[in-house]
Structure formats: structure tokens, C-alpha cells
Amino acid sequence: MTSESAFKSLTQSMREVYTLAEVCSILHWDQETMMPKNGVMTRAAQLSELVGVLHEKRTNPKLKEWLSHLDDTTLSVAEKAMVREIQRDVDKAHKVPGTLLQEIAKEASLGHQVWSQARKEKDFALFAPALERMVNLKKEYAKCLGFKESPYEVLLDDFEPGSSLADVSAMLEGLRAPLIELLGKIKGKELRMASLVGEYPEEEQLALAKNVSTQLGYDFSSGRLDLAVHPFTSGGTPGDIRITTRVNPKDFQDCLYSTIHEVGHALYEQGIDKGLTFTPLGHAVSLGVHESQSRLWENQVSRGPFFSQWIYQQCKDFFGLGDMGYDGFYRAINEVGGSVIRTESDEVTYNLHVLLRFELEKALFEERLALQDVEEAWNSKTKELLGFVPPSVDMGVLQDVHWSGGHFGYFPTYTLGNIYSAELFAAADEQIDDLSGKLSRGEGGELLAWLRENVHQHGRIYTAPELMTRVCGHQPTSEPLVRYLQAKFSAIYGLESA
């Protein structure tokens, strides 16, 4: 067998795998948006069977045979990256039994419904048994793959391949002291902000969300916007990237900025080279880089001092906003309020919410925290980092959906996204002429084109550290994010003269 024919066989086999994986993605989307409540058992069985089929395809003995016939010297950069990702898939598939993957998929589907009910009833005890089953399954999963010092290395690698736990820990830890210090200074100012609380009809909120999405470049002919309990983006082909949002009738910011956040994710997926579709390279390089796109459009752009001028006018057109001027609006959308909910928190406290989850997850999997102590540990850690105790469990340990699906190792990628977004926006600002002026006029097209060229189109050809180094010229650190946050919120809260 020639290297050329072996590579062709590999790519065809992977096309089957990634096509089926997209079927799983659509089933998950349907479960979150459209599926009847009583369909949960059937959906769990469907997903479990599909995961089993995918595992069989990934453990096909011919894959190793084809890999052994490849001549690395004849492969292009993209082809070498393809082989790297296929080898990674094959290695994992052979180490983790298909029955374990099916059990995890089934438990995730069932666990979501249990979490939803427990959150509704504000009762952690309802969710605790499902959480224990999932943690045990993921411990077994980590043991199958092997790790050096912590099983959390394996869980993080699923979402942030190419990044070490030590490097990620250092970046997150680098935010603790400066953010707690900045938060303390802001609290000391006691600056009164204008309120955006009011009555905002769902229809108008969704109309505004769609209008802003289109302005940012989201292609509705290749996607759609629906409602979900926890906003998310679904799909893995540029032609079908779906986003969801939620509506708070008292505050349009929840819908508006949740939508912008998901649009950031979707713009990334819609910008990946279509020639990589249904291959291991046709996806975001990592969830940290993925999150950098959502946070960049949500924060640096849409909560920034330039594009927010255009957003202010849109909000005036849709909702009136009374006699509130732009300056009051800008301060209001950037208010540091110490929200108990991560997804509703401001830029200063958001990463402290993530640090809380990261530390608890690591402690759970390193068996320094018992499951029965999770709720108490959550409340204690919230007090330590954010200065308050959650008023109820639905606004505490049950506020996030991730654990029900077994997505341990996911949370740190949110902060990595903030770190990467600060680096990327600074680089774009240097390279795009008059970016601030363009954004103030609501023109984000040149920024999107820059991101498409430097980040989106490459898919997984490069690892996250490689991609960030190519774009920014150095390995990412937390320092640019700290400088950005200190500068922005010192200006808003007048901290320079404090």
C-alpha cells in the first residue's frame, strides 16, 4: 500500500466518523431546544448507540495499518496535522472501552434532566447521586488514558489539547491576586450606576438580538437562533451552526449579550475552511480559542467604548431607554456588581467564578474533596474569592449545566478564552487601521476578516499554543488581560485618582 492510498483511506474513514459525530451534535441541540420532556429516555438510548458506533469506527484495526504506511516526508503541513489528530483519536479509542463511553453518554443525557429538575426545585440532594455516578465514570475514563500527576490532566486535554495543566494553572492563578485587588478598589468607590431594569417584551429582545447578530456577521442562512435554558452553540460544519439565547423580561442584557457571546462562537465555526469539513481539522483548535472569539465580541467589542456606541443607538431604537445618555449606558453595561451567576457576571469577577470551579474540580478528581462536601465547599470558595455566599443552591453549585454532562475540565477554557481574547484584540488593534473608529460606527467587518485570516480558517491545523504564538508572537500569559481590565475599569470607576 502506498502512502497516498493509505492517507486517502484514512481520510475517508474519518469522514464517516465526523459525519456521525455531527448527527450526535444535532441530537444534543434538539434535546436542549425542541425535544419533548418525555423523550429523554429514548434520546439517551439513541446517543448511547451512536457513541458505540463511533467507537467501533475509531477502533477499526485498519486505521493503525493505514497509519503505519504513511510517509511523513510526503505530507503537507495540513496533512501532518490531520494525521496528528487521527492518531490522537485512535490512541484514545483503543485505551477507553466503548462500553464506558456509552455509559458516559447515557448518564450525560439522563443527568441533564436530573440537574434541570434539581435546579428548579433548588435541591442539590436530587442531583448528588447523578453527579457521583458521572464523577466516578470520568475517573475511570482518566485512568484508562493515563496521566502523570493528576487525572485532571486528561479531562483538560479533552478541551484544550496541547496545553499543559501546569501552564493553565499558572495563567489562572496569575489572575487571582490582581482581580481580587481590583474588585476591592471598585467596591470601595461605591459609584452609583444607572439601572437598565425595566419591561422588555420577548419579541423585541429577540428582534434586537437577531439584528445585532447580523451586524456582527452571523450568517442566518447557515444557522438559526432559538431559546434554551443555558445558551449554547451547536454544529460542526460551516453550513449549519446554530445558536441559542435566553430572555429575561426585566433586563435585555441577558438576551443581548448571551446572543453576542454565542455569535462569537458561531462566527468562528462559520469561518473554518470548508475544505476541512468532516475531517479532524474542521473544528476549533480548542475551547479556549473558541471562547476567545465569544469573549472578544462580547467584551472587547460589544462592551467596549466604541462598538457599544452603535449598540446604544440600537437599544434606543428598540426600547427607548428613557433619558439615559450614552455615558450612563456604557457604565451600566460594564457595572461590576458581583453577580452570583457566572454567565451574568462582569468582566472583573467572571474569572474568579471560573477559578472557583477549576479549583473544586481539581480537588474532586485528586480526591481532596468528597462529593458530600461539594455544596459547602462551593459556598466557602465563593465567599473567599467573590466576597459573598450564594443565596440559594440554584444560584450556587447548581447554576451550571456542565457537570451533568461530565464536562469536567471545561471551565478553565472560559478564562483561557479571556486571556486569549485580550492578546488577539491587542494584536488586531495594532494591525487594523482606525479599528476604534470603525467599531464606533458599527463596522466590525474588518475585524472579522482579520480573525478569519489569522484564527478561524485554520481549524485544528495548529495547536492552541502554536496558533496564539503565530498570531501574537509569544506564548500567551495572563498579563495582557490584567492590564486590559485594570485600564478599562480604572477609567470607568475613576480609580486613577483614588
Q: Which residues contact 385 (CB under 8 A, 6 or more apart)?
A: 176, 180, 352, 353, 355, 356
Q: 103, 262, 291, 359: which one is catalytic?
A: 262
Given this model, what pLDDT does residue 165 score? Answer: 96
- Calculate the alpha carbon distances from 160 to 264, 279, 390, 414, 480 in Å: 18, 18, 29, 11, 20
Angle, in degrees to the nearest 10, between helices 347-365 and 412-431: 140
Given this model, what pLDDT does residue 454 score? Answer: 98
Residue 405: how many other CB atoms lie within 10 Å: 18
Catalytic residue list contains 79 = no
Q: Which residues contact 129 (CB under 8 A, 6 or more apart)?
A: none
Domains and CATH numbers, the chain: 3-146 (1.20.58), 165-497 (1.10.1370.30)
Given this model, what pLDDT does residue 28 score? Answer: 86
Given this model, what pLDDT does residue 498 score? Answer: 40
Residue 290 CA to residue 161 CA, distance in Å, equals 13
Which three cell numbers, joined as nine digits, stand for 417?
478564552
Tell me the pLDDT tens digit for each residue of 253-304: 999 999 999 999 999 999 999 999 989 999 999 999 999 999 999 999 999 9
Q: Residues in the chain, how many?
A: 498
Q: Which residues of the chain have a pLDDT value below 70? A: 497-498
* DSSP assignment of 134-170: HHHHHHHHHHHH--SS-THHHHHHHHSTT--HHHHHH
Given this model, what pLDDT does residue 410 score? Answer: 96
Tell me the pLDDT tens digit for each residue of 171-213: 999 999 999 999 999 998 877 888 999 999 999 999 999 999 9
Given this model, what pLDDT does residue 237 score? Answer: 85
